[in-house]
Amino acid sequence: MQKILVIDDDSLVRDTLLRILQRKGYEVLLASDGRHGVQMFRREQPDLVITDIIMPEKEGLETIREIRGECSDAKIIAISGGARIGNMDFLEMAGKLGAAEIIPKPFDPAELISIVSRCLAN
């Protein structure tokens, strides 16, 4: 069973992803911020990481950079509610940092499953 680590500070988002991904047979690991997420990645070595961008403690871009530092070929999907820093779109920045896919919130469950499946297949 493939393990997917979901990192998001919003518990509703975490629960929603948990429900969608579990129904599709994935093992879902949950982390509420980037720091826990990185720790959990080191410990569990998941197959895919889905992370939010804007979070307390450690925001998503930093989390992506660290996970990339830990494992250069880690598969990461960045999701975001759409906030920006200056003229930079977070999701664009996440893509530049190494996120394989970027999905703006809210999204369809089918779209998510499709992207997850594609990433895992790659």
Partner 1 sequence: MIRRQERLAGVWRCSLRLRQPSLRLLIIALIVELVLPFIGASVFVTTRLADAERANDGSRQLGIARAFSSEIDRQLLNAEAALKALATSPESPDGDLEAFYRQSAAVADQHGARIVLADATGRQIFNTTRPFGTPLAQLNEGELARRAMSMQKTQISDLFRGSTTDDYLVGVFVPVIADGPSRLVLIMAFRPERLSSFFAEQHVPDEWTVAIADRAGTLIGRSHALDRFLGKPATGDLKAAMAAATEGLATLHTNDGTEVYTAFTRTVLSGWTVAFGIPRAVVDAPLRQSLVEIGVAGGLVIILCGSIALLTARRISRSMKALSTAALALGNGEQLSQLTPSIKEMDEVIASMRNAADRLARRSAQRDRAEAALRESEQRFRDIAEVGSEWIWETDADHRFTFFAGATVEGLTPLGPRPKDILGKTHWELVGADPETDEQWRRCKAEFDAHRAFRRLQYSAITRSDRRHYFSVGGNPIFDENGEFKGYRGTSTDETETVEALQRAEFAEALLRDAVDSISEGFVIYDRDDRLVMFNEVYRRLFLQSIEGIPVGTTYEEILRANVRAGQHVLAPAEEAGWIAQKLKEHHEADGAVEHQLGDGRWVLITDRRMRNGGIAGLRVDITALKAVQAELRASREHLARAQRVAATGSFELDLRTQRIEWSDETYRIFGVTRDVDPLDQSKLEQMVVPEDREQFRDQIAACVEGQQQTVMEYRIRRPDGHIRVLYRDVEVMRDNAGEPCKLIGVVKDVTELREAERRRDELERELMHSQKLEALGTLAGGVAHDLNNTLLPILALSKLALDELPQGNPVREDIEVIVRASEHARDVVKQILAFSRKQALVKREVDLVTVTREALRMLRAGLPAMIQIIEQMTPVPAVWRRR
Minimum distance, C-beta of residue 11 to partner 1, in the bound complex (Å): 10
Minimum CB distance to partner 1, residue 106 (Å): 4
Our CA angle for 85, 57, 109, nearest 5°, is 70
Residue number, 48 or 52, with CB nearest to partner 1: 52
Smallest gap from Cβ 54 to partner 1, in A, equals 6
Binding site for partner 1 (CB under 8 A): 10, 12-13, 15-16, 19-20, 23, 54, 80-84, 86-87, 104-110, 112
Length of the chain: 122
Nearer to partner 1, 26 or 74 (CB): 26
Q: Are 65 and 90 in contact (CB under 8 A)?
A: no
Q: First CA to last CA across the chain, in angstroms?
A: 16
Q: Are 81 and 94 spatial neighbours (Cβ–Cβ below 8 Å)? A: no
